[in-house]
Chain A
Amino acid sequence: MRKDGIEFSFTWIFAMIVGMTILFLAIYAATRITQTQETVIDASTAKEIGILLSPLETGFESAKTTSLILPKETRIYNKCNNNGNFGRQVISLSQKSFNKWTDTDIDVGFSNKYIFSDGFVEGKKFYIFSKPFEFPFKVSDVIYVTSSDKTYCFDDAPEDIRDELSSLGQENIYLENCPEESIKVCFSGSCDVYVDYSSKYVEKENEKMYFSGDSMMYAAIFSEPEIYECQLKRLMQREVQLIEIYNGKAEIVSAKGCNSDVKNELSILSGMISDIKGSENINTAVIGTVDDIKNKNEISRCRLW
């Protein structure tokens, strides 16, 4: 009897199945390797960004600025937590690859960095500007990250703010002739970001963020309320640790006959700061104590800082 059609031997069917399996595995492995490579690049770039922020630590300078250019369109995710003694600054990165954002499942953490920005900042060029936060001693340098794609308009800012911003020369900050699409930061009237300089609060996204000092005012302007509150709490956590160090130093120098007059006040401030749950708790009592300690330390025979 004659059979029509193609005849496949067992060997052929077997070889085809095996060939297809190998091909499938090879494609799967290649995809996984590419994804892993992307993750590795994202994680190492995030770590590198964090490390590159170290030179932004200020000495005598009142502020410092620099820019960061990445080869690809990038999203820098800014996350923060208050775990442990200092909380943690977490950065993760997502880069555009074949018109798709890479997954960001690897977080890179730093305990000694305080970055203020939106939840994520997107672009190829980023401006990084840092300023010391003093309360009443220097607690840390705070870092503000903005994208060159976003512009800020400070056309009615007070003179000293204008002077500082103009000396920074950051290209996405305008003091006059602001572009139409820029984020309006105003010190009177209503706009995207409202700064009440006398009552010391910034209103953004219908939320009030209270500040003390210009460094925290910029922090509130450039960051998302949730990040601002978390980073502020982290700064207060470090302040408590620094107070303990200054108390330790006070004991060491008093043994050398050099008494400091602020030891008791520092302990009071530490208690006040531990009670701070949010920026609204930075009230006149806390600021009054801070100012008092600052003045006492300045006239003290043995300054602690």
Chain B
Amino acid sequence: MVMKNKFGQLKIQQMAFMLMAITLFFALVGMFFLTIQVSKIRESASVLEEKNALLLVTRLANSPEFSCGNSFGITAISCVDSDKIMALKNKAEDYNGFWGTSNIEIRKIYPATNPVECTSSNYPNCNIIKINEEEIESEYSNFVSLCRKEIANGQTYNKCELAKLMAGYNG
């Protein structure tokens, strides 16, 4: 009788261990699956962010905050008004996250000079305008003409230079 009881107890113990093992196994499988799913979602989010930067950069120069419009006498596509951008830079906080990219940067590429970031004190003797101060991990860029009003001998004239408009994304 005592032997039978002991044998029964052993079986229940066996079963309990088995159950614990099964539960642990399923929990591990579930966690593994969940990790894969989360990484897939993260990957697709970064792909979407990349796609956004790619498509945005091609049309950003036409958006009203950037485009030259008719202010330089002619209507040109991919023309960025640098005076307007400097005014936008002063309002960068208000525009935070507006275009859904981590940063937007305009870099003069011709004539080539040492990189100097534009501030209200050194403008226009500079060649990089950063809309946000955030570092760019990856970027897409597009060539644009960067135009502004200049003064020489008391006369105002339009000055346009070749620049790269960059939209950054983290991913």
Contact = CB atoms under 8 A, between A and B. Distances in A.
Interface of A: 10-11, 14-15, 18, 22, 25, 29, 33, 36, 40, 44, 47-48, 51-52, 54-55, 57-60, 85-86, 110-112, 137-140, 241-242, 244-249, 251-253, 256-258, 298, 301-305
Nearest to B56: A54
Contacts of A140: 63-64
Contacts of B11: 11
- Contact-size category for B: 35 or more
Q: Which 4 A-B pairs have the closest CB atoms?
A: A248-B87, A57-B59, A305-B69, A54-B55
B64 A304 contact: no
Interface in B96-117: 97-100
Contacts of B88: 245, 248
A304 B72 CA distance: 9
A251 B87 CA distance: 9
Given A22-B22, A52-B55, A258 B94 contact: no
B97 A11 contact: no
Contact of A256 (B63, B69, B91, B150): B150
Given A29-B30, A111-B97, A252 B77 contact: no
B59 A249 contact: no
B59 A252 contact: no
A253 B55 contact: no
Contacts of A29: 30
Given A60-B75, A305-B69, A112 B87 contact: no
A252 B91 CA distance: 14
A112 B100 contact: yes
A249 B156 contact: no
A305 to B, nearest CB: 4
Nearest to A245: B87
A253 B87 CA distance: 11
Most buried by B among A25, A86, A110, A252: A252
Contacts of B98: 86, 111-112
A49 to B, nearest CB: 11
Given A22-B22, A256-B151, A303-B69, A242 B83 contact: no
A112 B37 contact: no
Contacts of A298: 70
Contact of A245 (B44, B55, B65, B69): B65
A25 B154 CA distance: 81
B81 A249 contact: yes
Contact of A248 (B41, B51, B58, B86): B86
B52 interface: yes
B63 A57 contact: yes
A244 B51 CA distance: 30
Contacts of B51: 48, 51
A28 B130 CA distance: 50
B41 A40 contact: yes
Contacts of A58: 62
Contacts of B39: none
27 contacts: A10-B12, A33-B33, A33-B37, A36-B37, A55-B58, A57-B59, A57-B62, A59-B77, A110-B100, A111-B98, A112-B63, A137-B69, A138-B67, A140-B63, A244-B91, A245-B65, A245-B87, A245-B88, A246-B84, A247-B87, A253-B83, A253-B149, A257-B151, A257-B154, A298-B70, A302-B156, A303-B70
Contacts of B24: none
Contacts of A52: 55
